[in-house]
Amino acid sequence: MSDVLSSDRPAEAPYPAPAVGWYATVMLALLYWLSVLDRFIISLLVDPIKKDLGLTDVQFGMLHGIAFAGAFTLFGLVFGALADRFNRRKVIYVGVAIWSLATAACGLAQNFWHLLLARIGVGVGEASLNPSATSMIADLFPREKLTTAMAIYAIGSTVGSGTALIIGGAIVGFVAHLDTLVVPLIGEIRPWQAVFFIVGLPGALFAFSIFTVPEPVRRGPRVGRMRLGQTYMRLFKFMREQPRFFIYHYLGFTFASAVVTGGITWYPAHVGRSFGWSPSEVGSALGTALLIAGIVAKLAAGNIVDFLYRRGYRDAQLRWFGLCLLFATPIGVFATLSGDAWTFIIAIAVFMTIIGAMQACAMTALNLVTPNELRGTGVAVFTTVAGLVGGGLGPVLIAAAGKSGIGVGLAIMIGVCCPIGGLLLLRGLRPMREAMADAERAAPLK
């Protein structure tokens, strides 16, 4: 067994009542939903912001890329370490308050640099959620129920992506007919500025809701007390002692991330360009299909994987998702090469139903194997790698491969990355079983 794990461990308290665990998971999912809404609301306001502040397309792209994504990635590593060292509810509260107030601050922007700083603030705040939330969920549920719980949490992102444009659009429509509004202490503001206030300020109050959730007892294999600066040193030491599990996990799920992120980026453009649909038609049909697919995928995978785990498959997360990637490949290729819009939408919905539980499977596998005090940093490092390599390169590679059309680029990406990712995850089955054996010896199931 790894010498990183502490052998001198006190007896663990029992898990909280199921109602407590599920309430906490739903509340964390709602915060995840709120983060996605605040993240994407700016995409509805491109034209009025560009008009009033005189921004270029390149500058607006920086608000999504360097400003948000850069801050989200960098501070994810910071908040990951904080989540492993301090009260996770407080870490989440600080993060929610930061991103909500930063969203509202976007409404105060008078030039590009003001808006850039505010978007950096949104990225900083949102970086706090995943490391702390997934660590808490891992302490709220026994191992055989953890994938379902992670799937419920991940639904917050799915619903957030599906409803952000709907709710945001309704708010934009509500204020669009107004010329200017007068806000006490601020003065006159434009309608697009009011949208940021309406979306951001309530979130700062909703941040307090995290304190209705109990801070769970940290359980599972432990590394013992350590200083904040030691967190990543300990994590990398642990990863070196389970190298094959982490190599196959990171590589397999990174290939999958390229497919999922790249696809979501280009599916709407593919429908619009290939079939001549208007943005409203694309949003309504494709958005609804992907929303339903995402929810079904997470609920189904969570229950199936937990069933396999209870039956003794300690590699259930990698086993299930690896097979899903292989099985989904021909469906995804067929969908993206289809010459009919509805055939594409239905087939891609089936494809996403099969692979839509990527986050739940990846996060659960990490948290099952990783010592408790390293789970936040573990999630932060994986998110950074998968986000920068998979999520960052996926959309670019699809565009580069799709010189004959986005559909061809999507088909190539799916046809190459899904099988590679699936085979890598299946190669990781034995290493995960070995890592799980170490984890269970350190913290046996009750």
CA distance to 69, 107, 193, 351, 360, per residue, from 49 (Å): 20, 10, 9, 36, 36
Do 61 and 95 lie in one domain? The reply is yes
Do 253 and 370 lie in one domain? The reply is yes
Do 258 and 208 lie in one domain? The reply is no
Do 333 and 444 lie in one domain? The reply is yes
DSSP 3-state assignment of 15?
A: coil
Residue 2 domain flag: no
Do 185 and 304 lie in one domain? The reply is no
Do 121 and 259 lie in one domain? The reply is no
Which two tokens mark 176? 């669009």
Q: What is the pLDDT of residue 3?
A: 46
Q: Which of 148, 166, 39, 32 is nearest to 92 (CA)?
A: 32
> Per the structure, how many domains does the chain have?
2
Q: What is the pLDDT of residue 62?
A: 73
H or E segment at 187?
Answer: strand 187-189
Query: Which range, 43-52, 158-167, 216-225, 362-371, has the best average confidence (pLDDT)?
Result: 362-371
Q: What is the mean pLDDT of residues 243-272?
A: 88
CA-CA distance, 31 to 387, in Å (whole number)?
A: 20
CA distance to 112, 158, 192, 250, per residue, from 65 (Å): 14, 21, 21, 23
Q: In this predicted structure, which of 48-57, 237-246, 333-342, 346-355 has the lowest mean pLDDT? A: 48-57
Exposed, middle or buried, 17 (CB in 10 Å: 0-12/13-18/19+)? exposed
Do 120 and 208 lie in one domain? The reply is yes
Q: What is the pLDDT of residue 296?
A: 92
Q: What is the pLDDT of residue 183?
A: 63
- On the question of pLDDT at 9 being above 50, the answer is no
Q: In this predicted structure, which of 147-161, 165-179, 266-280 has the lowest mean pLDDT? A: 165-179
Q: What is the pLDDT of residue 220?
A: 65
What tens digit of pLDDT does each residue of 123-147 get?
Answer: 999 999 999 999 999 899 988 899 9
Where is the domain boundary, 215, 250, 278? 215
Mention every residue, 6+ apart, whose C-beta is less than 8 A from residue 109. Answer: 53, 115, 118, 193
Do 340 and 242 lie in one domain? The reply is yes
Residue 184 domain flag: yes
CA-CA distance, 19 to 142, in Å (whole number)?
A: 14
Res. 8 pLDDT band, cuts 50 70 90: very low
Q: What is the mean pLDDT of residues 175-180?
A: 64
Residues of the domain holding 43: 15-215
Which two tokens mark 67? 């400003």
Do 162 and 237 lie in one domain? The reply is no
CA-CA distance, 353 to 282, in Å (whole number)?
A: 19
What tens digit of pLDDT does each residue of 269-278 get?
Answer: 788 888 888 7
Do 58 and 201 lie in one domain? The reply is yes
- Total-model pTM: 0.81
Where is the domain boundary, 215, 249, 269? 215
Q: What is the pLDDT of residue 184?
A: 63
Which two tokens mark 340? 């009919």
Res. 179 pLDDT band, cuts 50 70 90: low
CA distance to 183, 323, 377, 390, per residue, from 394 (Å): 43, 21, 24, 6
Q: What is the mean pLDDT of residues 313-333?
A: 96
Residue 240 domain flag: yes
Characterize 80-93 residue by residue with b for buried, 16 or more Cβ atoms within 10 angstroms of its Cβ, and e for exposed: bbbbbbeebbebbb
CA-CA distance, 88 to 81, in Å (whole number)?
A: 11
Q: What is the mean pLDDT of residues 278-289?
A: 76
For the residues of 284-349, what is the DSSP string, one character each?
Answer: HHHHHHHHHHHHHHHHHHHHHHHHHHHTT-TTHHHHHHHHHHHHHHHHHHHHHH-SSHHHHHHHHH
Mention every residue, 6+ apart, whose C-beta is less than 8 A from residue 439. Answer: 220, 221, 368, 369
Q: Which of 353, 329, 344 is nearest to 286 (CA)?
A: 344
Q: Which of 163, 151, 212 is nearest to 36 (CA)?
A: 163
Residue 5 domain flag: no
Q: What is the CATH number of the domain that holds 343?
A: 1.20.1250.20
Compare 92 and 47 and report the one with higher pLDDT.
92
